[in-house]
Amino acid sequence: MSEKFRCFGNTPLYADYHDNEWGRPVHDDNKLFEMLILEGAQAGLSWETVLKKREAYRGAFDSFDPRKVALYDDAKIAELMTNAGIIRNRLKINAAVINAKLFLEIAEKYGSFDRFIWAYVDDKPIVGHWERFEDMPTTTPISDRISKDLKKMGFKFVGSTIIYSFMQAVGMVNDHLKPCFVYEEMLSK
């Protein structure tokens, strides 16, 4: 029996993320907020490091409820800075609080963050047709535009590379490699 080809995932945690989450369209605002915060937390680190800390993040950040995170004060931020289960970077923690407030403003204005963010791709995933991981871009004109728009609104840790990773994570882009078993599955949806 041959092993399934996957784009990445040489550990059980990483393989599970690849097989069941990465590139699959997400339309739940809390999940979109989670991925926005985790992608920002990843800056300068590996995604596997963030995945290993994900459960601790969920506990520390009230299951990524933006209504709760938006209310975090200096005492809560100080508490998070002592939590060894998460990435203890004050700028990234402060960014999560700032971004939660702005996330809620967008959701209020557009009816949901989902409606706002998916409009950038006309509510349909962009399909990459990559044979090799090395061919995949790290930014695109759309990620550049989203990044610029979010920064203008005051969001932090939303550079174009982070936004492109976010787009991949939430399925706005299907960048599974063509030989990957998930690629065909996603095309048929």
Active centre residues (catalytic) = 17, 39, 47
Tell me the angle at which helices 90-110 and 74-81 cross, rounded to the nearest 10 degrees. Answer: 130
Q: How far apart are CA 20 and CA 14, in angstroms?
A: 10
User: Are the C-beta atoms of 146 and 120 separated by less than 8 Å?
Assistant: yes
Residues with Cβ within 8 Å of residue 123, at least 6 apart in sequence = none
138 three-class SS = coil
User: Are the C-beta atoms of 29 and 105 separated by less than 8 Å?
Assistant: no
